Amino acid sequence: MRAADTKNGLAPLFNIGALPSIWGIYIAQGVLGGLTFVGLPTILRNQHVSLGKIGLLSLVMLIWAIKFLWAQPVERLRIAPTGRRHSRKIILVGECVTAGLLCVIAFWPPWLFSGLLMLLLCAAVSATIVDIACDAFLIEQIPENERGKGNMAQVGGACIGLVLGGSVFVSLYGALGWQIGCFVMAFTVLSLTAPMFFYNHENREVFLVRPQELRPGLLNALRRGEIWCGIVLTMTYEMSGRLVQGLTGPFLIDQGIPLNTVGVFNGMGGVVAGLCGTVIGGIVVRKAGAKNGMYLIAICQAALLAVIFSSIKLQFLHISILFALFVCEAALMAASFVASYSRLMAFTAPHQPGIDFTLFQSASAIAAASLGATGAFVAGRAGYETVFLISVVLSLVALCLIPFINSFQKKYFRQY
């Protein structure tokens, strides 16, 4: 699959490994997400921007859902005809563009919403290009038996970045103002990108040149059965958790818990739970493997959702119990992402991992948006109890379907 490169590169100034480089990039990606979806809504509301306009920030999420549309040109740019990879160059340029746009945003008053939204959409496009290249970089540079560590960086980096772009950015805005806050975020993105700048081992081993019919292509991916298995597995595995994921805050508010308490819980509690779940997911994948790890976590999630449903049904709703249950649910969601990402990477083809894995992530984003909206609609019409009952049923359905999907994947998978 790979051929050793006989050309020895120059000794690097710093011998930075692939994992630190990946952690830096995924945290930087999380900074932009935290700024867009956590920090900015708070600041815009403080500037008396209407809730209707603030809701338009969700359009930025659409960029992540449709990023598969430009995965093919990015992958063809990343993989040269000679077999050399340019992942690192694309990542560095993309992060510099993102940091540059944050500097432009610094001079754009937040209350001029239309222009701000356009700049954020441009930054999101740049971030998705980086994401495509970095996911492919992870698949190619991290050995398959150690990918769980890379998947921990994907999930844990997003959690850390969420704090930096959300809570830290809002604090900087309150203390030093809009411009300084944006400049600090831009500097943070560049600083986190530095390890990737010093990583120079990408082409110490190069892939063999592939025939024309195996050039990276979106249609090539969609013709392959294992890709459809991965898409179905992604949506099946996440459907129960995604259905109730956005209902934690509204449910706690409806139980009479103060808004400030809910805000702190969703903020710091969610991040801590996410990081703990990331570590748990990494351990499970390392000990049991990605396939078995997914199944074990799915069993735990089905049991936990059943407990949450029972608590609501029996009106056993003490605040400490609710917090404990929802923290466990957030941790299991993070652990499930680590396991599923590691499993899905095995479904990708070596000649176009960026396109293949992007399709899985786009499916995940589409599932999150559609199921989240469905969960909110059903909760409004039939109550929280019904939504959590449906999530329990969906989790049991997933437990039945996962083995069948894995067996179909074995049938369709081709070695390249």
Average pLDDT, the chain: 86
Q: What Å distances lie between residue 176 and 45, 170, 172, 300, CA to CA?
A: 18, 10, 5, 45
Do the strands 205-207 and 2-4 form a parallel or antiparallel pair, or are they unpaired?
A: antiparallel
The four Cα atoms 27, 32, 33, 39 give a dihedral, to 10 degrees, of 110
| Distance between CA atoms of residues 55 and 113, nearest Å | 11
Closest-CA residue to 349 (of 176, 227, 200): 227
59 and 200 housed in the same domain? yes
Residue positions counted in the chain: 416
The values of phi and psi at residue 75, to 5°, are -70, -35
Element (H, E) at 4: strand 2-4
Domain boundary among 163, 183, 209: 209
92 and 129 housed in the same domain? yes
Domain boundary among 209, 241, 269: 209
53 and 165 housed in the same domain? yes
Report DSSP letters for 195-229, one per residue: HHHH---TTTEEEPPPPGGGS--HHHHHT-HHHHH
Q: With b meaning 16 or more CB within 10 Å and e meaning fewer, what string describes 170-189?
A: bebbeeeebeebbbbbbebb
Q: Would residue 1 count as lying in a domain?
A: no
Could you tell me the pLDDT band of residue 413, with boundaries at 50, 70 and 90? low
**CB 316 within 8 Å of CB 381:** no
145 and 247 housed in the same domain? no
**The pLDDT of residue 4 is above 50:** no
**The pLDDT of residue 6 is above 60:** no
pLDDT at 7: 40
The values of phi and psi at residue 211, to 5°, are -65, 165
Q: Look up the domain containing 203 and give its range.
A: 10-209
Helix/strand/coil percent split, the chain, to 5: 80, 0, 20
256 and 121 housed in the same domain? no
Q: Would residue 140 count as lying in a domain?
A: yes
Average pLDDT of the residues in 198-210: 67
Q: Would residue 253 count as lying in a domain?
A: yes
**CB 273 within 8 Å of CB 331:** yes
273 and 174 housed in the same domain? no
Q: Is 413 helix (H, G, I), strand (E, B) or coil?
A: coil
Tell me the pTM. Answer: 0.85
Structure token digits, residue 336: 């499930």
Element (H, E) at 314: none
**Percentage of residues in the chain with pLDDT exceeding 90?**
44
DSSP code of residue 108 = S
Per-residue pLDDT tens digits for 28-81: 999 999 898 888 888 888 788 777 788 788 788 889 889 999 999 999 999 988
**CB 262 within 8 Å of CB 385:** no
Domain boundary among 145, 179, 209: 209
Per-residue pLDDT tens digits for 236-277: 998 998 888 878 878 888 888 886 777 777 777 778 888 999
Give CA angle at 168 (40, 341), nearest 5°: 80
240 and 205 housed in the same domain? no
Q: Would residue 112 count as lying in a domain?
A: yes
**The pLDDT of residue 201 is above 80:** no
277 and 361 housed in the same domain? yes
Could you tell me the pLDDT band of residue 5, with boundaries at 50, 70 and 90? very low
Structure token digits, residue 311: 């608590």
How many other β-carbons are positioned within 10 Å of the β-carbon of residue 207?
Answer: 18
241 and 123 housed in the same domain? no
Structure token digits, residue 223: 């013709």
Average pLDDT of the residues in 193-214: 71
Closest-CA residue to 280 (of 139, 152, 150, 135): 152
The values of phi and psi at residue 85, to 5°, are -105, 140
What is the tally of structural domains in the chain?
2
Q: Would residue 247 count as lying in a domain?
A: yes
Average pLDDT of the residues in 287-312: 92
Per-residue pLDDT tens digits for 360-384: 999 998 888 888 888 888 888 888 8
- Report the Cα–Cα distance between both ends of the chain, in Å, rounded: 8
Give the sign of the dihedral formed by CA 302, CA 304, CA 308, CA 310.
positive
Give CA angle at 309 (405, 328), nearest 5°: 75
Per-residue pLDDT tens digits for 71-113: 999 999 999 888 888 999 999 999 999 999 999 999 998 888 8
Interhelix angle for 169-176 vs 178-198, to 10°? Answer: 140
**The pLDDT of residue 211 is above 80:** no
| Distance between CA atoms of residues 348 and 354, nearest Å | 8
256 and 379 housed in the same domain? yes
Average pLDDT of the residues in 392-404: 90
158 and 230 housed in the same domain? no
Beta-ladder partners of 205: 4
Per-residue pLDDT tens digits for 120-142: 999 999 999 999 999 999 998 88
330 and 393 housed in the same domain? yes
Interhelix angle for 71-78 vs 113-141, to 10°? Answer: 50
CATH number for the domain including 230? 1.20.1250.20
pLDDT at 8: 40
